[in-house]
Structure 1
Amino acid sequence: MRYESSERTDTSGTPSSARPTSRRRLLGVSGAALLTAACSATDKHPSGKGSSGSGSKQPTPTGSDAPTGEAPDGALGVNFNEDPSDLDFAEMKTLSAKWVRGFVPMTADLDANTATQQRAVAKLLDANGNDFRTILSMKFPFMTAGQPLPKVGSPEMDTQLKRVDRVLDAVMGKTDILTIGNEPFLETMKDERDARLNVFYEYIAEHVIAYRTKKFPHGCRTRLYMGALNHLDRKEARTQATERWVAFVNRKPEIEGLDIHPHVDSLQAAGQYVQYVVSRLDKGKKFLATEFSLVLLWQKHMGDTIPAAYAAKYHVSPNTRVWQVIGNAIKKPFPQERWDDFLTMSPWFASNKDYLTKQVQMFRETGKLAVATYGAVQIESMQTGWGPHKMPWILNPPYANRTVKEENGKVGRTTVWFDSFSGLQDS
Structure 2
Amino acid sequence: MKFFYTHCLLWLLLAGIYLGCSGEKSHVTVAKPSTPDSIDYSFKMGVNLNEQVDVADMQDIADSKTKWVRCFIEVIDLYKAGTINTDAKIAAYNSLKSKGYKTVLSLKFNFLKNGFPAKDGQDWNNYLSFISTLLAKVMPYTDVLIVGNEPFIEAAPATWNEPLNSFYKEATDKVHTYFEQNNIEKPIFLGAFDNMYQTTQQTNAGYLNLLAFAKATSYLAGIDLHIHHNSEAEMTSALNFAASKIRADQKMLVTEFSLMKYWRSYNDSAIAPAFIKAAEASASDSIELPPSSVTKNYQYIDYALKNPRPAQEWYAFWANSPYLAAKSSYLCTAYQSFLATGNVYLSFYALRQSYPDNTDFTVSTDPWVLNGLFLNRSVQQVNGRNQKSYSFLDQFQKIAENENPCQ
TM class by shorter chain equals: 0.7 to 0.9
Gaps of 5+ in 2: 1-27, 280-287
Q: Which amino acid aligns with 1:177?
A: V
Give the whole-Å Cα distance in 2 for the aligned partners of 1:79 and 1:177. 14
Given the alignment, which residue of 230, 233, 243 partners 2:197?
233
Task: Report what 2:73 is aligned to.
Answer: 104
Contact 1:403 1:412 in 2 (8 A): no
Q: Which amino acid aligns with 1:378?
A: Q
Contact 2:73 2:107 in 1 (8 A): yes
Contact 1:82 1:119 in 2 (8 A): no
Given the alignment, which residue of 282, 287, 297 partners 2:262?
297
Q: For residue 223 of structure 1, report the CA deviation from its aligned partner.
A: 1.8
Given the alignment, which residue of 350, 355, 366 partners 1:380?
355
Give the whole-Å Cα distance in 2 for the aligned partners of 1:270 and 1:383. 34
Q: Which amino acid aligns with 2:101?
A: F
Give the whole-Å Cα distance in 2 for the aligned partners of 1:319 and 1:410. 28
Give the whole-Å Cα distance in 2 for the aligned partners of 1:361 and 1:57. 34
Give the direction of change, closer, same or farther, for the CA distance of 1:108–1:403 in structure 2 (3 Å limit): closer
Q: Which amino acid aligns with 1:252?
A: T
Task: Report what 1:202 is aligned to.
Answer: 169
Give the whole-Å Cα distance in 2 for the aligned partners of 1:243 and 1:416. 37
Quote the RMSD (CA, aligned, Å).
Answer: 2.1
Is 1:337 aligned to 2:301, yes or no? no
Q: 131-140 or 105-114, which moves further after superposition? A: 105-114
Q: SS in structure 1 opposite 2:150?
A: coil
Is 1:180 aligned to 2:147, yes or no? yes
Give the whole-Å Cα distance in 2 for the aligned partners of 1:382 and 1:81. 18
Give the whole-Å Cα distance in 2 for the aligned partners of 1:180 and 1:390. 29
Question: Relative contact order (alpha carbons < 8 A, sep ≥ 6): 1 or 2 greater?
Answer: 1
Aligned 1:208-287 pairs, distance under 5 A: 208-216=175-183, 220-238=184-202, 239-287=204-252
Q: SS in structure 2 opposite 1:362?
A: helix
Task: Report what 1:115 is aligned to.
Answer: 84
Q: 165-174 or 296-305, which moves further after superposition? A: 165-174
Give the direction of change, closer, same or farther, for the CA distance of 1:403–1:108 in structure 2 (3 Å limit): closer
Q: For residue 150 of structure 1, report the CA deviation from its aligned partner.
A: 4.0
Task: Report what 2:31 is aligned to.
Answer: 59
Is 1:148 aligned to 2:116, yes or no? yes
Gaps of 5+ in 1: 1-55
Contact 1:84 1:119 in 2 (8 A): no
Give the direction of change, closer, same or farther, for the CA distance of 1:118–1:253 in structure 2 (3 Å limit): farther
Give the whole-Å Cα distance in 2 for the aligned partners of 1:276 and 1:378. 30
Q: SS in structure 2 opposite 1:249?
A: helix
Task: Report what 2:14 is aligned to.
Answer: none
- Structure number having the greater strand percentage: 2
Q: SS in structure 2 opposite 1:261?
A: strand
Contact 2:67 2:101 in 1 (8 A): yes
Q: SS in structure 2 opposite 1:107?
A: helix
Give the whole-Å Cα distance in 1 for the aligned partners of 2:350 and 2:101. 16
Q: SS in structure 1 opposite 2:146?
A: strand
Q: For residue 75 of structure 1, report the CA deviation from its aligned partner.
A: 0.9
Q: Deviation digits for residues 381-402 of structure 1, max 9, x if unmatched? A: 4984422221110000010111
Q: Which amino acid aligns with 1:364?
A: L
Give the direction of change, closer, same or farther, for the CA distance of 1:307–1:61 in structure 2 (3 Å limit): closer
Give the direction of change, closer, same or farther, for the CA distance of 1:319–1:399 in structure 2 (3 Å limit): closer
Q: For residue 57 of structure 1, report the CA deviation from its aligned partner.
A: 9.1
Give the whole-Å Cα distance in 1 for the aligned partners of 2:170 and 2:360. 38
Contact 2:54 2:93 in 1 (8 A): no
Give the direction of change, closer, same or farther, for the CA distance of 1:79–1:319 in structure 2 (3 Å limit): closer
Give the direction of change, closer, same or farther, for the CA distance of 1:119–1:136 in structure 2 (3 Å limit): farther
Contact 1:173 1:221 in 2 (8 A): no
* Percent identity for Structure 1 against Structure 2: 26
Is 1:406 aligned to 2:381, yes or no? yes
Give the whole-Å Cα distance in 1 for the aligned partners of 2:358 and 2:246. 38
Give the direction of change, closer, same or farther, for the CA distance of 1:336–1:319 in structure 2 (3 Å limit): closer
Instruction: Give the number of aligned pairs.
Output: 364
Task: Report what 1:44 is aligned to.
Answer: none
Contact 2:274 2:321 in 1 (8 A): no
Contact 2:104 2:142 in 1 (8 A): yes
Give the direction of change, closer, same or farther, for the CA distance of 1:383–1:81 in structure 2 (3 Å limit): farther
Q: Which amino acid aligns with 2:116?
A: P
Give the whole-Å Cα distance in 2 for the aligned partners of 1:340 and 1:381. 22
Give the whole-Å Cα distance in 1 for the aligned partners of 2:201 and 2:357. 26
Give the whole-Å Cα distance in 1 for the aligned partners of 2:358 and 2:365. 9
Contact 2:311 2:387 in 1 (8 A): yes
Contact 1:138 1:181 in 2 (8 A): yes
The structure with the largest alpha-carbon Rg is 2
Give the direction of change, closer, same or farther, for the CA distance of 1:382–1:303 in structure 2 (3 Å limit): farther
Task: Report what 1:168 is aligned to.
Answer: 135
Give the whole-Å Cα distance in 1 for the aligned partners of 2:311 and 2:29. 50
Aligned 1:390-405 pairs, distance under 5 A: 390-405=365-380
Give the whole-Å Cα distance in 2 for the aligned partners of 1:90 and 1:328. 27
Q: Which amino acid aligns with 1:101?
A: R
Q: Deviation digits for residues 113-149 of structure 1, max 9, x if unmatched? A: 533533442222111111100011111111123x125
Q: Deviation digits for residues 229-273 of structure 1, max 9, x if unmatched? A: 112111111222222222212222211011000011111111111
Give the whole-Å Cα distance in 2 for the aligned partners of 1:352 and 1:262. 16
Q: 293-302 or 186-195, which moves further after superposition? A: 186-195
Q: Which amino acid aligns with 1:377?
A: R
Task: Report what 2:343 is aligned to.
Answer: 368
